[in-house]
């Protein structure tokens, strides 16, 4: 098997918050709304779909990396020596053999459970969160820069607001997809905030083919005893939570979440869930570059054997790709070489538009009645040269 072949197109199907079909949740493109969508595929969602079949062929051809530019969210970190969604999935599959390629079989469903969300996380995208969508519309109204306005508009105008969890026909089609599958991953939006989430878990518990592995991702803002009881009824649950930082920094990055409440919820889930399979997802970006090890230490001190996964905020204006080069250089000079160093050295060679990021952060700070200089002094020191008003 070619070492670059990805098993996702041969075994999995991902449904985006707005119903687009793709092999995995990291397969991204601005024209996603034009892809095959649950709502249009009748009478049921086929697997492999036409588009996934094309990707299977590419994964069996030569020059896989060149022919699959939409997989860059895996190729970029892998080429910088970092872990990727593809590599994590291959480790979870345990057995990689040609049989899976010659006899593709849907065994894993990756469901982004609609886009209903209660947070405007700074690294998130309008296609994945109803809140960040509202926030970007507010930023469009308040920014005076034409370039900035255009950037925001390009992020919100593409979507038709279809949410497969709200559209009953789409929802029923996804239930059908779930029936024969044993492993399901659910993320969002924020699933715990979605009124369909508990009925959906009840459906999974009632179906004839039992769920062997259930992966859940939450932003930890909601504590719900009934959800705990439902999750405790599944044999294997992987409970994944998002933690970009701690204390007031996390409040800024995941606005309007409140650290005290989030911390309380985290302790409740850790102690009341039957599973001991906990994963923290920390998305490394411009504003937590100097603090992500502090977050790691916080998690280690909880003594719950939490697996810590670091991801790079790719395709996001909050990502390091848009940060000032001297800021990155300052980090590289003042910190021991670590897993992120190669990636940072690599992006030093790219041209970017830091002014877009600066205006975005200033706009977000204004909405939160906060000041970037007080909240993120190191970032501010290297980026205030881009502030013109
Ligand atoms: S290579 Fe990465 S982005 Fe592409 S299908 Fe595999 S996991 Fe998804």
Nearest CA to ligand 1 atom 4: 71
Write down the domain spans for the chain: 8-120+164-318
Residue 58 has pLDDT above 80, yes or no: yes
Going from the Cα of 246 to the center of ligand 1, the distance in angstroms, rounded, reads: 30
Q: Which helix (H) or strand (E) holds 146?
A: helix 146-156
Q: What residue spans of 80-178 are helical by DSSP H?
A: 85-93, 98-102, 130-142, 146-156, 168-178
pLDDT at site 67: 96
Residue 157 pLDDT grade (very low, low, confident, very high; cuts 50, 70, 90): low
The CATH code of the domain at 8-120+164-318 is 3.20.20
* pLDDT(96) > 70: no
Give SS3 for 319: coil
Looking at the chain, the whole-number percentage of residues with pLDDT higher than 90 is 82
User: What is the number of the ligand 1 atom nearest to the C-alpha of 68?
Assistant: 4
DSSP structure class, residue 384: G
DSSP conformation class of 179: T
| 8 Å CB contact between 269 and 239 | yes
Please state which of the ranges 72-86, 93-107, 202-216 shows the lowest mean pLDDT. Answer: 93-107
Distance CA 325, CA 344 (A): 9
Asked whether 73 lines ligand 1 (CB < 6 A), one says yes
Residue length of the chain? 389
As a whole-number percent, the residues of the chain with pLDDT over 70 amount to 98
Question: Residue 223: pLDDT above 70?
Answer: yes
Using a 6 Å cutoff on CB, does residue 360 contact ligand 1?
Answer: no
Q: How many CB atoms lie within 10 A of CB 258?
A: 13
- Best probe residue, ligand 1, of 68, 112, 315 (max atoms within 8 Å of C-beta): 68
Q: What is the pLDDT of residues 328-374, one digit of tens each?
A: 999 999 999 999 999 999 999 887 899 999 999 999 999 999 999 99
| Max Cα–Cα distance, the chain, nearest Å | 61
Ligand 1 contacts CB of residue 27 (under 6 A): yes
The pLDDT score that the predictor gives to residue 95 is 66
The closest of 338, 263, 336, 258 to 301, measured between CA atoms, is 263
- Count CB-CB contacts under 10 A for residue 202: 12
Pick the atom of ligand 1 nearest to 86's CA: 7
In this prediction, residues 184-201 reach a mean pLDDT of 97
Identify the pLDDT of residue 314: 80
In this prediction, residue 149 carries a pLDDT of 95
Please tell me the pTM assigned to this model: 0.93
Which residue's CA is the nearest one to ligand 1's atom 3? 71
């Amino acid at each position: 098997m070619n070492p670059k072949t990805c098993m996702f197109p041969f075994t999995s199907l991902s449904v985006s918050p707005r119903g687009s079909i793709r092999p995995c949740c990291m397969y991204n493109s601005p024209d996603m709304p034009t892809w095959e969508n649950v709502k249009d595929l009748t009478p049921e969602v086929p697997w492999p779909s036409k588009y996934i079949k094309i990707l299977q062929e590419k994964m069996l051809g030569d020059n896989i990396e060149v022919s699959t530019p939409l997989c860059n969210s895996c190729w970029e970190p892998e080429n910088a020596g970092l872990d990727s969604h593809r590599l994590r999935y291959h480790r979870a599959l345990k057995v990689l053999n040609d049989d899976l390629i010659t006899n593709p079989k849907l065994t894993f469903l990756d469901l982004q459970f609609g886009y209903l969300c209660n947070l405007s996380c700074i690294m998130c995208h309008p296609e994945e969160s109803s809140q960040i969508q509202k926030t970007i519309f507010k930023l469009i109204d308040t920014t005076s820069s034409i370039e900035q306005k255009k950037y925001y508009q390009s992020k919100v105008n593409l979507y038709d607001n279809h949410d497969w969890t709200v559209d009953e026909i789409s929802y029923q089609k996804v239930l059908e997809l779930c029936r024969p599958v044993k492993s399901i991953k659910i993320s969002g939006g924020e699933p715990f905030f979605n009124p369909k989430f508990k009925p959906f878990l009840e459906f999974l518990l009632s179906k004839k083919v039992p769920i062997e592995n259930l992966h859940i991702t939450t932003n930890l803002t909601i504590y719900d005893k009934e959800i705990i009881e439902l999750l405790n009824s599944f044999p294997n649950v992987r409970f994944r939570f998002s933690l970009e930082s701690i204390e007031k920094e996390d409040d800024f990055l995941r606005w309007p979440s409140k650290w005290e409440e989030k911390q309380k919820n985290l302790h409740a889930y850790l102690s009341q869930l039957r599973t001991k399979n906990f994963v923290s997802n920390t998305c490394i970006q411009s504003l937590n570059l100097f603090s992500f090890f502090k977050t790691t230490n916080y998690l280690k001190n909880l003594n719950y054997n939490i697996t810590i996964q670091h991801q790079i905020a790719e395709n996001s204006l909050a990502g390091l790709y848009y940060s000032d080069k001297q800021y990155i250089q300052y980090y590289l000079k003042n910190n021991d070489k670590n897993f992120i160093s190669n990636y940072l050295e690599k992006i030093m060679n790219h041209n970017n538009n830091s002014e877009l990021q600066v205006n975005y952060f200033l706009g977000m700070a204004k909405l939160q009645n906060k000041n970037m200089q007080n909240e993120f002094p190191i970032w501010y020191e290297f980026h205030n040269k881009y502030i013109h008003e």
